[in-house]
Structure 1
């Protein structure tokens, strides 16, 4: 589609702060543990050198990153729904949210699951020597219990009619989007709520929503066959079209360097990627894309316009190295003017 005017972009961005957007999904803690290896001394008890952590940074990941990206564009806190464990990672995640002004009252604290976390140890040597070690993951492997599921369903029912758009981040094998929760989400979509779904492995199970896969997730949901290397954007777009026909949902598919495409199963609307620098960190780009899309739709943008804004927002965060960053209105206008 044709690039929207700067005036139209400003009009949509100016309306965003007053919008009401919710996010339900798998909340995760991202941790960065910086170790000064020059301070490491051989242990007296074992023949190993310890890893002396001298600095720690925490941020919200997965659905939590979507919440932070929403908050960067909204005046009020997004409504955040999910289930976390009653553990130190859950406590830290709530602290991260509260520090940013994000409300946590709709997050269920469970005694039967653990909070997912990605711990990134970063070793610092002499001078500028910095190496990121193998990641340490805290992985919940327990199914959400019936009591916690009922609490989450109650929170979900409570936001119907109170948000303009609902984002769904369904990523973990043992996440909070259980079959019953997914059924409730689809029913809300059938009643007219605008819902955008990002799901790594189950996107084909949703109905009455906008599906937001990348090209790999879209192909896997369609026929289990990954796209071939070097396929054109038109060839990739046929994956989105076929997925829309299969699920009877509108599909917004990101395609990496080929931009993105929106389809209802008939027409295709393309959006080219924005120019970015050479050093990129794509971690969390999909979260930023979904939050930008949701806020734009809530502000009255057409799908093609919202897709441009989502692409613009993610082009900003992928240039923030080593952290799942957010994109603000000022940053988006500056990036727009540089294109």
Structure 2
């Protein structure tokens, strides 16, 4: 079987990182096309031996990209075209139908209650999504929460398949030596209480709440990994609150920390508590990675945790999202000074190997139900 994965861009992000990890475990020959932005994850995929093609799409109205993508799909003779993220799902499903691909599958990574990938869920956005969704065999939801949103949005329930995101838990296992090394590298005393957050620096992640909470705790420090349009405003906030000497903006972190910034697994080993203040998530990958590192997790919206029984993640605590509440919760953690815990059951539930097996079942279904004599449209 040969599969082509089509994604909107390959900068550092949850969907992009998930695609790379998934391709390491899929027993299928895979290529990748990125419509735009062949960023850091494109280079990482190439280092894994995956062929990555940049389509060079110039914008949402670059309709010529459909023809270019259809020709690429036809030339590759792919059995399955798998699309990721809104623009790639819309254009990729059309191109796959033109190319006569036997089966097309889409993964919905970022559908929220009021927005999708940061764009408002307008009537036209929904109409275009639903019209092209019918061109595929199935739409994959990365969480039960997203599956429910897809149903509410108008996608028929029998077309939705649940394949949760996954992680490689061994990568994030706590390492005391790594903890000491990262703290020494960043100039953090071994006994300091360190809070962490990971994600794109965008308004929806609400990192301003995290900064305000840590600023109110003179004994706490914050390591914030990620980059984005809010970086300047967040730095200014830390300065205005008089906490700039206790808050480190690390920029984008990759898996291995090959650059000047520690990788995410090393960063998690250096922390004492992980916080996710996002008002809306489709999964919450960083929170699951933190659980794999044995960290207590304070979170607002996090379907990966919320969709499971509480006993699966006893070290995770739901917060309402105000700076005052978060400050109080962090103060409790400082006073408790608990040791690292073994990864909870939620981590095993989200093993990437299970995700790849479930996705292979979706591919088999898509191929089994495909019309036997589909031909490319002229």
Give the TM-score of the pair, scaled to structure 1: 0.34
More strand by share: 1
Give the TM-score of the pair, scaled to structure 2: 0.31
More helix by share: 2
